[in-house]
A and B are shown apart, each in its own frame.
Chain A
C-alpha cells in the first residue's frame, strides 16, 4: 500500500516536471494524453473496481467538450465560465447515473449488455453531433474555441490539466478507499451476496458510472480549449474503444495505470506514425500480448517491482473504536408462507408451500434433494419471485421485493457455498457485515465506518480467533474458515431472522462441532430466529426443536423432532432411515 502510494506520487510529480525537462510542445502533447488518461481512470473505477465495462465513455467526454467549448466561445464572465464547467461535469454525470441506474436495477452482474448499451449510446451521440450542425458545427466541428482565460494553450494550460489530473486522482483514490470503493469491489466479486447484506448495488454501480462520467466530462471540458475545436470524433465509438484499450494496457485496476497507458500508447503512436509504416501492427501486437500475458496491465508490473523494495512502513490496522448498536427492536419474528408456488418453465418447484414460524430459536428445514428447501429461501430473500402465494415477514409482504430491500427488513442469508468476498481482507468482509443495513449513502464516502465495532464482533473474535488476523485476504482462508467467516458475517448483521443454508457443509467433524456451538451461542445471545437447512440429522437434533420437512415443494411434516421422525409420511420419503 505504502509503496504504491509512493509510486503514484512520484509519477504525478514526474508529470509536473515534464515542461522543464523537455519542452512546451512535449507538455502540450502530454496534456492531451493526460486528458484521455483521466477518462481511462474513470473507466478503471467502473471496470477495474466495480467489474462492469463502459464502452462509450467518449460520449461523456464529448458532451463535456461541446458544453464547455460553447461556453468559452461566448466569452462571458468568469461566473458564467464556472457554471459552464459545472454543467460540463454534472450533465454527463446525470446522464450516466440515469442510464446506469435504469440498466443495473434490471440486470445483475457484469455481462456484455451494459457495455453494448453504452456502445450504442456513443454511436447515437456521434450521429447526433454530426447531424445537429446548427448546434455542434457538424462534422467540421465547433471551431475557434478560445483559450481558457488566464492560460496559454501551449504553455500554462498543461498545469491546469495536471492539476485536474491530481484532483481526479485524489478523488478517485479517496472514493476507492472509502466504504463506497470497498463495496464496489465487493460488488464485482459477488454482487448477489452484497445484496443479501442490504446493499443497493444498482445504486452503487450507477454512482460509480456517474463519477466516471463526471471525470470524462471534466477531461472533455479541458479538451475544448486545449484543441480549440471539438468534432464528433470526440463523442465517437473509436475514441471510446481506444481509451478502453489504453486503460487495459496501463492497468485497469490501478489508479494511474490508465494514464500510463494513454501516455505510452499516445507517444508511441505519435512517434511511429510518421516514421514506421506498420505502426498500427506494432501497437496491436503490444496490445494483444498485454491482454494475454499481463491482464493487470503495465502498472501492475511496476507495482510488483516496487513491492520488492523496502516498504515505507506499513500503516497499522485501524482501531475499531466506534461502538455502534446494531441490535434491533426485539420481539419474535413472524414469518408466514401462504400457498407459495414457484414454477420455472415446466417445473413446479414449490407447490402451495405454507408454514409459520413465530418463535425465536433455531428452526430446521429438512427434506430430500429437490424438495424445495433452498428454493424456499430463494423466494423469501428475493432471489426468485414466487409465481403465486404470499410471503409475510412481520406482517409485510416480501414476495417479489428486491434482495437488498428484503435484507434491510431484517432477513440475513448465508448461502450454501461459502460466499465471502475473496479479494477483500477479512477485516473488510467483517466491515461489510457491520455496515449491512446501517451504512447511509453519505457515510459511504467517509472513513469512520472502518472503525465501527459491536459487542457481537468481540464475541465473534472469541468464537473464531482466526478473524483477528484481519489483513489476510478472505480468499486465502481454508474452506472451513470461509464457511465460518460467512456465517460470522451473516450473524454480524444482527438481523432478527437468519437463514443458514447448510452451514456445516464441507466442514470436518471437529469444525462441525465448533460451528454448532457457534450457532447455538450466537442465536442465544442475539435472541434472533434462525432457520437452517441441513442434511445431517445429528446437527438438526442438537440445534433445534422445530423441524419442517419439505417434499416435492410442499410441507410434509412440521413439529418437534420426535413427532416428525415418527410420522409415517416422513418415513416413507426417507426410506425408514434417519439419514
Chain B
C-alpha cells in the first residue's frame, strides 16, 4: 500500500533534474517563438501601437506584388541551396567517411583537417573565399591558368546565374565535415562480423558497402538529410557576410533568411517592418516543421520497421 502510493506520486527528482533545461528552454526559445508567431497576426499602425490584423499579413505575403515575388524567389533559391547541399555535400561526406572508416595511418589527420572549416567563423570563411574568387587579386584564376583552364574562370560571385550555386558550394565546403563525422561514427559502429561474413560469402568491397553497410546506416542518412534541411532553411549568415542584406546581384542569392532580415530590420532607406518580418519568420517555421514532419512520419517510421 505504502509503496504503491509512493509510486503514484509525482517523481520529484525527475522534475528537479528537468527543471533547469525546461525553464531556460522555455524562457529563451519557446516564449520568443510563440511571441514571434503572435506578432505575425498583428500590424503596427502608428506610434508603435499594435493592432490585431488576423491573417492580413499572410494574405499580403502571398498576394501583394511587393512581397509575393520576393517570397517565391527566396523559397525557390532556398530549395536550390538545399539541393546543392544534398547532391554535393552529403555524398562527399559519405565518400570521405567510407574512406576514413577503412582505416590508415593518416586517418586522424585528415579527419581533423576536413572538419576544421566547420568550426571556423562564417565571417572568416566568407572573407577568405571572396579573396580566393576575387577576379582582381584572387588566386582562383591563376590556379586555373596553371592547369590550362584559365578560360573557365569568371566573376562567379557577381553573376546572377552563378552566384547562388557558388555561395552554396562555399557553404558545402564549410560544412562537409558534419555529415562526414556522422556517417563515420555510424560506419565504425557496424560490427566486424557482418563485413567478415560478407567477405567469406565472396562479396566485393563495393557490394559489402552498398548491401551491408549502407542499409545499416540508413537512419544516419535520414538524420543528415533532415539536419541539412533545417540548417539550409535557416541559413543566413554566409550570404549576409558575402552578399549583404540585398543578396545581390539582382536578388539572385536571396534566400528565406536574407528576405526575413530585410523585411524585419529594413535596408538603407527601407524601414523595417516587424510584423511582416514575423510573418516571414512564421513561414520559415512552417516550412521547416513540414519538412521535419515528413521525415518523422515517412522516413523514420519506415526505417524503424525495416530494422525490426
Q: Do A and B come from one complex?
A: no
